[in-house]
Amino acid sequence: MYADENVIKIKHDVLYHVAKLAFEDELDAKRDSIAFELIPGPTPKFRCCVYKEREIIRQRVRLAEGKAPGPIDDGNVIQVISSACEDCPISTYTVTENCQNCLGKACIHACNFGAITPGRYRSHIDASKCKECGKCAQACPYNAIAHLKRPCKFACPVDAITTDEYGLSVIDRSKCISCGKCIHSCPFGAIGSKTFIVDVINALKSGKKVYAMAAPATEGQFGPLITMASWKKAMLELGFEDFYDVSLGADMTAAYEAEEWAESYKEGKKKVTSCCPAFVNMVRLHYPELADCVSTTISPMCAVSRLIKARDPEAVTVFIGPCVAKKSEVVDQKIEGNADYVLTYSEIRAIMKAKDIALMPVEDTEQIGSVHGKRFAASGGVTAAVLQSLKESKDEIDAKVCVANGAAECKKALLLLKVAKLPEDFIEGMICEGGCVGGPSRFNDPMKSKKTRDAMLLKADERGIHENLENYDMNSFSMHRK
Q: What are phi and psi of 267, to 5 degrees?
A: -90, 0
Task: Give CATH for domain 5-88+152-195.
Answer: 3.30.70.20
Say yes or no: do domains 5-88+152-195 and 92-148 share a fold.
yes
Where residue 91 falls among pLDDT bands split at 50, 70, 90?
low
Q: Can you tell me the distance from the alpha carbon of 443 to that of 352, in angstroms, rounded to the nearest whole number?
A: 15
Phi-psi region of 464 (alpha: psi -120 to 50; beta: other; left: phi over 0): beta
Q: Can you tell me the distance from the alpha carbon of 367 to that of 383, in angstroms, rounded to the nearest whole number?
A: 22
Q: What are phi and psi of 196, to 5 degrees?
A: -105, 20
Q: Can you tell me the distance from the alpha carbon of 130 to that of 132, in angstroms, rounded to the nearest whole number?
A: 6
Angle between helices 345-354 and 228-238 (to 10 degrees): 50
How much helix, strand and coil, in percent to the nearest 5, is found in the chain?
45, 10, 45
Residue 385, C-beta contacts closer than 8 angstroms, at least 6 positions apart: 250, 251, 254, 372, 373, 375, 376, 465
CB 174 within 8 A of CB 285: yes
Residue 58, C-beta contacts closer than 8 angstroms, at least 6 positions apart: 32, 34, 35
Enumerate the domain spans of the chain: 5-88+152-195, 92-148, 207-469
pLDDT mean over 124-133: 87
pLDDT of residue 150: 86
Where residue 90 falls among pLDDT bands split at 50, 70, 90?
low
pLDDT of residue 89: 64
What type of residue sits at position 479? M
CB 268 within 8 A of CB 289: no
**Cα–Cα separations (whole angstroms), residue 202 to 313, 354, 456:** 19, 14, 35
Reported as type and span, the H/E element at residue 341 is strand 341-344
First to last CA, the chain: 36
- Provide the 8-state DSSP code for 218: G
CB 340 within 8 A of CB 330: yes
Higher pLDDT, 270 or 165: 270
pLDDT of residue 2: 47
CB 144 within 8 A of CB 99: yes
What type of residue sits at position 135? K
CATH architecture group of domain 92-148: 2-Layer Sandwich (3.30)
pLDDT mean over 231-245: 97
Higher pLDDT, 104 or 429: 429
Closest CA to 430 of 203, 216, 227: 216
pLDDT of residue 164: 85
CB 319 within 8 A of CB 341: yes
CB 225 within 8 A of CB 279: no
Report H helices in 135-246: 135-139, 151-155, 181-185, 197-205, 228-238
How much is the pTM? 0.91
Whether pLDDT at 3 is above 80: no
Reported as type and span, the H/E element at residue 254 is helix 247-267
Most distant CA pair in the chain, distance = 79
Three-state DSSP state, 163: strand
Condensed to tens digits (0 to 9), the pLDDT of residues 303-359 reads 999 999 999 999 999 999 999 999 999 999 889 999 999 999 999 999 999 999 999
Q: What are phi and psi of 457, to 5 degrees?
A: -70, -20
Closest CA to 180 of 163, 157, 200: 157
Condensed to tens digits (0 to 9), the pLDDT of residues 429-477 reads 999 999 999 999 999 888 888 889 888 988 888 889 999 999 888 888 9
Q: CB atoms < 10 A from the CB of 87, how many?
A: 14
CB 447 within 8 A of CB 220: no
CB 114 within 8 A of CB 104: no
Q: What angle do CA 133, 139, 141 make, to 5 degrees?
A: 145
